Amino acid sequence: MNYRVLLLVLLWLPGWAAASSCSLLIVGDSLSSGYGLENGASWVNKLDARLKNAAPDWRVINASVSGDTTQNGLQRLQPALDRHHPQGVLIELGGNDALRGTPPATIRQNLVAMIRQVRAAGAWVVLLDAPVLPNYGKPYADAVARLYVDVARQEKISRVPCFVCGVGITKGMMQADGIHPNEKAQARMLGNVWPHLQPKLRCPVKKP
């Protein structure tokens, strides 16, 4: 038997192809965990489905937990990096911090720590802006919004500036609680993320 031919055949088998795939880790809160939605209906599920066609070497690992803050995310991140060894990470956190009135400086510190952990693990990062309700007044909301701009610029990473732009003010796109987008909004949310994510979907060839 020609073992070189056999090796080439094995490399093309599905199981071998999966071994060379790249993973995208998503660390988020209820906006990414699918809170209040049917299974498979979230923007993350839609992203995974799109990747199967647009970037089949990639797969999504959703490590989002409803209610999580940036502090929770920071505590969970390193174990997730150690377990999954992702090539890319999306950070979608901060909305719950803002709901609790967490000082912007604390949110910023947590996000920077997460970004640097991801980089130390050899992966790239995309940061998603957090939606901020006007509970604590305009100065607080502006400060939280500004910190995402500053962090992305400082750390030289990609940022999604309008993750839920237009969703909250569009009739029929919110759940009854007025906080969480419904199923109709998920495609728009993915549409906001995709242009910032797509250019990074180059799966490096892994050496045997």
**Which residue numbers are catalytic?**
30, 177, 180
Rounded to whole angstroms, the Cα distance separating 61 from 58 reads: 10
Residue 58's φ and ψ, nearest 5 degrees, are: -105, 150
Nearest to 133 by CA among 177, 171, 187, 91: 177
* C-alpha distances in Å from residue 67, one per residue of 62, 149, 185: 15, 23, 20
First to last CA, the chain: 22
Among residues 37, 63, 66, 33, which one has the least CA distance to residue 173? Answer: 37
